[in-house]
Amino acid sequence: MSFVNVKKQYLALGMMIFVLLFLINNNKPAFQCQFNQEEPVYLPTIYGITPTYARLAQKADLTRLSQTLMLVKNFHWIVIEDSETKTKLVENLLKESGLKYTHLNVKTHKSKHSTASGVEQRNLAMDWLRGHLKSVEDKRGVVYFMDDDNTYSLKVFEEMRKINKVGAWPVGIVGGMRIEMPLVTDGKVTGYNAVWKPFRPFPIDMAGFAINSTLFLDKPEAKFSRKVQSGFQESEILKYFTTRDQLEPLADNCTKVYVWHTRTQKPSIIDVKKLKHPVPVFDSIEV
């Protein structure tokens, strides 16, 4: 064996070891990469149920809300118009938002006994949701009843993904108070601070709780009702799913406000057609 041949064999062996090390190393990518590929973080779907009705500030309100929702991962927006037919305004807004959405409509049947809004719309949304959940494999998620003019921090969505059955948290500026919320002792709900109709079974606002979506299949009879007095819709739906002291307190044991019951002021508009010196009218432009 000549010296040159020995050198060549060592060289080949060295190269083989190099290639082997390269392959082994390639199988062990950076930690984060491996984490994303093999153990994706599970994010339950949030189903936001939003009744809406035609009014001058509707597009402004829906624009603001939809642009919050664009920042929420794994979100499905169920928007129900209080109307005989779906409007182009809402249809276009939903399409352009890029959100995952379901667009429904049903006209309200108000009577002199019940002026509650959103009853038929939320019930229709729950019917749709039950059908949808039956058709999908992963039924996990949470249902949140959202007004179209409230203000939502992104943090409220992070909180509700932790829900086991029904979670609750404080709501800002509602019921005549700075904060309306469950009172929490040792991590358990022990009471409520509401002063408006405190005798309600659940004296909390619609924006202050969310419900595990799988429970909607367990309780097919759960729905809102026109038969209850004003302010009792929250209690009406919650009674199917939980009890006063079983609510899961979120938002750091109900010490943080992540949602506000803001109301958009009704705009007062001048009828420019009736002015002595008329100004141009732009009726064809959507506002």
Ligand X SMILES: *[C@@H]1O[C@H](CO)[C@@H](O)[C@H](O)[C@H]1NC(C)=O
Coil, strand, or helix at residue 203?
coil
Which is closer to ligand X, CB of 66 or CB of 212? 212
Query: Catalytic annotation on 234?
Result: yes
Residues sharing a CB contact under 8 Å with residue 119, sequence separation 6 or more, in sequence order: 108, 224, 225, 226, 233
Which stretch, 49-57, 81-89, 135-143, 236-244, contacts ligand X (CB under 6 A)?
Answer: 135-143
Distances (CA, A) of 199 to 180, 206, 231: 14, 16, 11
Which stretch, 18-26, 92-100, 119-127, 136-144, contacts ligand X (CB under 6 A)?
Answer: 136-144
Quote the least distance from Cβ 103 to ligand X, whole Å: 24
Which is closer to ligand X, CB of 81 or CB of 248? 248
Amino acid at 111: S
Is residue 258 within 8 Å of residue 251, measured between CB atoms?
yes
Rounded (to 5) percent helix, strand, coil in the chain = 35, 20, 45
The Cα 248–Cα 95 span in angstroms is 35
Is residue 249 within 8 Å of residue 168, measured between CB atoms?
yes
Which is closer to ligand X, CB of 48 or CB of 51? 48
Q: Which of 81, 120, 180, 234 is catalytic?
A: 234
Which is closer to ligand X, CB of 187 or CB of 280? 187
Is residue 106 within 8 Å of residue 120, measured between CB atoms?
yes
How many chain residues bind ligand X (CB under 6 A)? 13
Which stretch, 14-22, 68-76, 140-148, 268-276, contacts ligand X (CB under 6 A)?
Answer: 140-148
Q: Please select the residue that binds ligand X; options are 51, 118, 141, 203, rule is CB under 6 A.
A: 141
The Cα 151–Cα 167 span in angstroms is 19
Residues sharing a CB contact under 8 Å with residue 83, sequence separation 6 or more, in sequence order: 53, 54, 105, 107
Quote the least distance from Cβ 234 to ligand X, whole Å: 20
Best CA proximity match to 224, nearest among 210, 213, 215, 237:
237
Q: Please select the residue that binds ligand X; options are 38, 39, 186, 221, rule is CB under 6 A.
A: 186
Quote the least distance from Cβ 213 to ligand X, whole Å: 7
Q: Please select the residue that binds ligand X; options are 140, 219, 239, 256, rule is CB under 6 A.
A: 140
Quote the least distance from Cβ 252 to ligand X, whole Å: 5
Is residue 238 within 8 Å of residue 201, measured between CB atoms?
yes
Residues sharing a CB contact under 8 Å with residue 179, sequence separation 6 or more, in sequence order: 170, 171, 172, 193, 257
Which stretch, 23-31, 32-40, 71-79, 157-165, contacts ligand X (CB under 6 A)?
Answer: 157-165
Q: Six-digit token pair at 225?
A: 């009702």
Quote the least distance from Cβ 114 to ligand X, whole Å: 32
44 binds ligand X (CB under 6 A): yes
Of residues 189-248, those binding ligand X (CB under 6 A): 212, 214
Quote the least distance from Cβ 74 to ligand X, whole Å: 11
Active site residues: 234
**Sites of contact with ligand X (CB under 6 A):** 44, 140-142, 161, 163-164, 186-187, 212, 214, 252-253
